[in-house]
Chain A
Amino acid sequence: MDQIYIPKNRVGFDIGNYVTIRILKEGDVEEPTEKLCFYGIKRLEPIKLEIIRDVFEVIDKYIDNYKNIIITGSFLEKGFRFNDVDIIIVAVGNVKSERISENIGNKIGVNGHIIVLSGNELAIGLETDPLYRMMLSKCVAKKRFFYKTRQTINYKLLDLHLLKSKTFIDNFDILRGKEKYDFVRNMISIYLFLNGNDVTVEVVNKEIKKTFGIEIGKIKDNILDKKSFIKKYKLIYDKSFALILKGIEHGSK
């Protein structure tokens, strides 16, 4: 059997698919599909690429003056364990995100969770917020953008972000697996950021595995040893909070 080689991430093809090769005739060539920009992604299922193009198509119908559209979040993880598609629309002005989200839902059958940011907000987020850095380290964008900006530590902002992970211990019994993962991820990304590390999805997940000695899937599936998990969690939380307070005390944002 002959084999053909094509670039990765080609819409409609997956490794091992059987195809028919024939000589093109005049008029056979369709308009070339728009190229997408991939960040931190080696491979994406063809069906997801189609979904992304559908999402862009819907947004194009509603806004024409956006700077970029970025797809991120669990949708880009391998497999199909996502509840919605996280979409960042970089635009200024009034964007009817609820209406767009509804239309995306109708078109692709999955909810579109839309966040609208100005270019400035995106830039500040990337510079000061580890969660934004992490989310955008793995994304698909309609247009090229620079996500490797410098890191600036603003202790007051990090305090505010870390506070969200504070009640994890008390709420351990009531939290769902996905929620637990979100709290842990938030805290670890802040801890890494405070220590001057680059914050990407891979780096954060690796640190979670190393710190807690557990696979990410087990956290999401809520299969945790409460006592040992909480002990390790508290240690990192306290270390992070101490660093933040020290930073505030020294007045160096």
Chain B
Amino acid sequence: MVQNRNKLIELFIGNISNAIVHEILERAVGAELVTDKYRKELALSFEIAGRYREKINPVNRSLPDKDVDYIKEKIMARVKSELITRISKGYDNIDLELIESLTDKALKDVKIIDSTVSV
């Protein structure tokens, strides 16, 4: 199925956001989570995001600043919204400070941001 670039970017954002929410919640749960080894085999959001990334040009180098700013801003907003939903219900130990650093790391890992540049 041919998908346009904007649609691919949105799908990419959705998956990366989910992966970051997962990572922050995993840290919040901490020691209670000891047995997730089986579910690791599910096609994880980060891996699926990678499939979309491979279709977003330029594939082998970082995206233009305009795209990077848009993607980063949207991921951070989505992740924050998901986490706030939980915090408002009394979920404790969620560290919102992690959002930006994990977003930067994820974007570097999939070459949306040049990994040699410090953000």
Given A164-B42, A171-B48, A179-B43, A115 and B37 touching (CB < 8 A)?
yes
Stretch at the interface among A98-106, A125-133, A191-199, A204-212: A125-133
B79-116: CB near A (< 8 Å → 1, else 0) gives: 00000011001110000000000000000000000000
Given A121-B34, A160-B25, A163-B22, A170 and B39 touching (CB < 8 A)?
no
- Say whether B51 contacts A174, CB under 8 Å: yes
A128-158: CB near B (< 8 Å → 1, else 0) gives: 1101100100000000000000000010110
Q: B21 on the interface (CB 8 Å rule)?
A: yes
- Say whether B22 contacts A171, CB under 8 Å: no
Which listed residue, B1, B25, B34, touches A125 by the CB 8 Å rule?
B34
Given A163-B18, A174-B51, A131 and B43 touching (CB < 8 A)?
no
Which listed residue, A125, A174, A186, touches B48 by the CB 8 Å rule?
A174
- Say whether A167 contacts B18, CB under 8 Å: yes
Q: How far is the CA of A164 from the CA of B33 in the complex (A)?
A: 15
Q: How far is the CA of A135 from the CA of B42 in the complex (A)?
A: 14
The B contact surface, by secondary structure, is helix
Number of interface residues of B (CB under 8 A): 33
What are 30 inter-chain pairs, A to B, with CB distance below 8 A?
Answer: A115-B38, A117-B35, A121-B35, A124-B35, A125-B38, A128-B35, A129-B35, A131-B39, A154-B32, A157-B29, A159-B25, A159-B86, A159-B91, A160-B29, A160-B36, A161-B36, A163-B22, A164-B45, A166-B45, A167-B45, A171-B48, A173-B1, A179-B43, A183-B43, A186-B42, A245-B85, A245-B86, A248-B90, A249-B89, A249-B90
List residues of chain B with CB under 8 Å of any chain A CB.
1, 3, 11, 14-15, 18, 21-22, 25-26, 28-29, 32-39, 41-45, 48, 51-52, 85-86, 89-91
List residues of chain A with CB under 8 Å of any chain B CB.
113, 115, 117, 120-122, 124-125, 128-129, 131-132, 135, 154, 156-157, 159-161, 163-164, 166-167, 170-171, 173-175, 179, 182-183, 186, 245, 248-249, 251
